[in-house]
Amino acid sequence: MLRNTTFAMLGLLLAAASANAAPIVTMTQSDQGGSHVLDFFMTSSAGAEFLNYRLAVTSSNGNNLQDPTKSSTSDEGGDALDTWMNTVYSLNGLGSASYSFNAYKPTGIGSGVPPVASIDWSVFDTGQGDTNSIDLGGGDVRNAPWHLARILTAPGAAGAAVFTAFDSLTVDTTGAAVGTPFTFSYGAVPEPTTFTLFGLALVGGLGVIRRRNA
């Protein structure tokens, strides 16, 4: 009886989780054109509409965040080798994005001069109907994951990024949108020799412990 009750409760929890699934954000790293490139992709909760997000990237080893074309804050198609942040609308050429520049303002009064150590922008939607699938007509149907942001860093840069995603189905008990944070680290992977030395040290340490225990 207790086992059946437990399974029933687990089923209800899984059903609730799937009904209120949170958005998903991923990050990839690559080297392009002399820069280390961080790309961020978002898929909203199933059936939800994209609302906005906040992306904060902070370098841990100096002013390493680059922005070759300061005047370009978004990029239709998401392929420019630059630092930009899109909404689903601006990515697909349906409307412009709006921004709050919490750290590093690229244009206008009070703008910063890259390279910088921190970029923190809030990016807001300007339209409706931008779910995980958009029909632009003429057989042009586009689907998530949406390529929403790209940050260029200097080669050898390291640090952390936090992407807080909002969509229309991730809400609290009052119905207000709740942000779902995704945290990533970036930077150079240790050289194979480093792993080898670490492995040898670990094996040697285990050998000492075994001899002492013997």
Q: Which tokens in the block code for residue 85?
A: 């942040």
Q: Which tokens in the block code for residue 29?
A: 């790293």
Evaluate whether residue 9 is within a structural domain.
Answer: no
Number of domains observed in the structure of the chain: 1
Q: What is the pLDDT of residue 137?
A: 93
**What residue numbers bound the domain in which 107 lies?**
23-201
Mean pLDDT, the chain, whole residue set: 86
Evaluate whether residue 14 is within a structural domain.
Answer: no
Evaluate whether residue 18 is within a structural domain.
Answer: no
The CATH number given to whatever domain includes residue 54 is 2.60.40
Exposed, middle or buried: residue 13 (CB in 10 Å: 0-12, 13-18, 19+)?
exposed
Evaluate whether residue 212 is within a structural domain.
Answer: no
Q: What is the pLDDT of residues 146-189, one digit of tens each?
A: 999 999 999 999 999 999 999 999 999 999 999 999 999 999 65
Evaluate whether residue 197 is within a structural domain.
Answer: yes
Evaluate whether residue 100 is within a structural domain.
Answer: yes
Q: What is the pLDDT of residues 86-141, one digit of tens each?
A: 999 999 999 999 999 999 999 999 999 999 999 999 999 988 999 999 999 999 99
Lowest mean pLDDT among 6-15, 68-77, 125-134: 6-15
Evaluate whether residue 5 is within a structural domain.
Answer: no
Q: Which tokens in the block code for residue 22?
A: 């949170």
Q: What is the pLDDT of residue 27?
A: 98
User: Any residues with CB less than 8 A from the CB of 105 and at least 6 apart, and which?
Assistant: 111, 112
Answer yes or no: are the C-beta atoms of 59 and 65 closer than 8 Å. yes
Q: Is 53 helix (H, G, I), strand (E, B) or coil?
A: strand
Q: Is 31 helix (H, G, I), strand (E, B) or coil?
A: strand
Q: Which amino acid is at 83?
A: T
